[in-house]
Amino acid sequence: MKQRRIKEGLCVLVLLVFVILLMTQDKQSAADPQAVFEAVQSAMQVDGLAVCKDERIKKEFGVDPRTFDYVGYLASDSIMEVREILLVHLAPDSDEQDLLDKITARVTDKAELFSGYAPEQSGYLEKYELLSRGGFVLFVVSDTPDDAVRAFKKAI
């Protein structure tokens, strides 16, 4: 009798842990990636930024965009401008942590590069946003990254 109650208690505990794990995991968003990218763009000042092709994404971030379901990237053609927006919709087999690490390394490298002679650009880099949610990764370097983050969260 006592062993049966212990077993029942353990089963309930295991079930409770399982439910908590399910509730805390990041759920995949069903949002259209292009619509999310457009929502983020509309929330920001994108004058002077242009849509970049796969070759530039590969050069700037060291990742192959073809390994993701969707990649949207806006950046300036000027080497003196750090503002950029990157939205990635991860494929089921994408290495999310590798992407996050490469983006963080890019910010560090650019911050070192701009720290001595472009204080306004350095300021943008200090308040960049990088977040992962619902199968998306958003990276924003801007004077108003919070606007992009709010639009992103609303869109997904």
The SS3 call for residue 156 is coil
Strand partners, 125: none
Q: Number of C-alpha atoms within 13 angstroms, CB side, residue 21?
A: 6
**pTM above the 0.85 mark?**
no
Tokens 């619902």 — which residue? 134
Distance CA 90, CA 150 (A): 20
Which residue's structure tokens are 């509730």?
A: 23
Compute φ and ψ for 72, nearest 5 degrees.
-120, 130
Which stretch of DSSP H or E encloses residue 36?
helix 33-42
Per DSSP (E only), the strands in the chain are: 50-51, 70-75, 84-89, 129-133, 136-141
pLDDT tens, residue order, the chain (156 aa): 677 777 676 666 666 665 555 555 556 777 899 999 999 999 988 899 999 999 999 999 999 999 999 999 999 989 889 999 999 999 998 999 999 999 999 999 999 888 888 888 988 999 999 999 999 999 999 988 999 999 999 999
The domains of the chain are located at 27-155
Residue type, 23: M
